[in-house]
Amino acid sequence: MTVLDLLDLDPSLTEEERQIRDVVRRLVDDRVRPYVADWYEEGRVPARELAREFGKLGLLGMHLNGYGCAGASAVAYGLACQELEAADSGVRSLVSVQGSLAMYAIWRYGSEEQKQRWLPSMATGESIGCFGLTEPDHGSDPASMATRARRDGDDWVLTGGKMWITNAPIADVAVIWARTDDGVRGFAVPMDTPGVTAREIRRKMSLRASLTGEIVLDDVRLPADAQLPEAVGLKAPLSCLTEARHGIVWGAVGVARDCLETTLAYATTRTQFGRPLAGFQLTQAKLADMAVELVKAQLLALHLGRLADAGRLRPDQVSVGKLNNVREALAIARQCRTILGANGVSGEYPVLRHANNLESVLTYEGTSEIHQLIVGQRLTGLSAFA
Ligand SMILES: Cc1cc2nc3c(=O)[nH]c(=O)nc-3n(C[C@H](O)[C@H](O)[C@H](O)COP(=O)(O)OP(=O)(O)OC[C@H]3O[C@@H](n4cnc5c(N)ncnc54)[C@H](O)[C@@H]3O)c2cc1C
């Protein structure tokens, strides 16, 4: 237990939950932390290698049952996301997109054949999945998507494009959401299907240790059984987003904790005006406010995780968590940056990398504004979306 656990929350976790958290923390300490600053600087990540490592530990599709998945609780999955994101949001994104978006979509909405075909190899990290909802012209408003799927005999033919798709450049399968004459439907699209191309998006200033791509679908012909039979309408992809957002609620806690741990260590050893930075009242005020926000975020994540495990978690409650925890983690990362002074802008310390990563986390899986609108709708009964 660290000094940052101001409310003694650690004993609120079960022994098993603490063990899972500690195992993931050790893996991340060993396989990610020593290298991630270089990956970030170079804008690359050994995603396949990492996926296999994470697969060995059962982290891919961790909260799903069967098909080689670990069947862990929502809290255990959240704790894994927390530890992954404490190292880097991009590395957590690899796991979230694989497990909560691509695997969950197939697990929840796929046919038995699709599940058998994809899930076991995705659980081990042999196959990589991605999730294509966002388009160049349609982000927050996926109901307006332009990608079309039309019937041609028994086949489907997909035309359109998806943008900002995590894991796309290396994916073996993409879950693609497209408009049909009967509304939105989902498709499991092998990335080697003729007409599918993926281009990596370069020059990102955020999530640089994560692969992001654009997918072009040029008259992609798929057999009828590529369609996810249980996915009917936009609520299907939105339910996948709820899964992934829950992981982000926890991941944000990990980032905030890492920033604060780094900053506490720095402020207690760096001396100016003859005393450690941590001895100044202004620094202590910053540290205290940040530590209070951290424990609030932890409480919120744990509460939502327990609701999920009880089968009672509503999407608008996940919005409360994503809105608060990402916003506060970003504020903490920026504030920590000030305490590190010039060193705060150096890649030798993780805080500005974390802050830059959180700019993406703030935007993907529903922007903060969209989560405000979801909470606003819950409060007022009025939808301000349309
Ligand atoms: C690194 C990265 C990885 C990503 N990975 C994936 C992925 O794997 N799969 C995927 O499908 N997508 C992915 N995305 C896309 C992400 O989900 C979208 O960027 C996000 O939904 C926002 O869409 P947009 O960027 O088009 O912004 P827009 O929708 O154009 O919004 C721009 C701004 O306008 C605001 N806005 C929009 N509508 C309203 C409104 N009604 N009221 C008030 N404000 C509004 C938004 O909040 C935002 O501030 C990723 C994005 C990034 C940056």
pLDDT in tens, 341-384: 999 999 999 999 999 999 999 999 999 999 999 999 999 999 99
- If you take atom 7 of ligand 1, which residue's CA is the nearest one? 165
Per the structure block, which two tokens stand in for 169?
A: 């450049």
Instruction: Mention every residue, 6+ apart, whose C-beta is less than 8 A from residue 249.
Output: 78, 300, 301, 304, 318, 321, 322, 325
In the structure, which protein residues have their CB atom closer than 6 angstroms to any atom of ligand 1?
97, 131-134, 139-140, 164-166, 207, 212, 360, 363-364, 367, 369-370, 385
Which of 94, 97, 134, when mutated, tests ligand 1's pocket best, judged by the most ligand atoms within 8 Å of its CB?
134
Ligand 1 atom closest to Cα of residue 206: 1
Quickly tell me which residue has 């903060």 as its tokens: 368
SS3 label, residue 140: coil
Predicted confidence at residue 159, as pLDDT, reads 98
Helix (H) or strand (E) holding 119: helix 112-124
- pTM of this prediction? 0.97
385 pLDDT band (50/70/90 cuts)?
A: confident
Q: What is the pLDDT of residues 2-20, one digit of tens each?
A: 899 999 999 999 999 999 9
Q: Is 230 a catalytic residue?
A: no
Q: What is the pLDDT of residues 270-303, one digit of tens each?
A: 999 999 999 999 999 999 999 999 999 999 999 9
SS3 label, residue 19: helix
- If you take atom 30 of ligand 1, which residue's CA is the nearest one? 139
DSSP string, 56-106: HTT-TTTTSEETTEE---HHHHHHHHHHHHHH-HHHHHHHHIIIIIIIHHH
1 pLDDT band (50/70/90 cuts)?
A: low
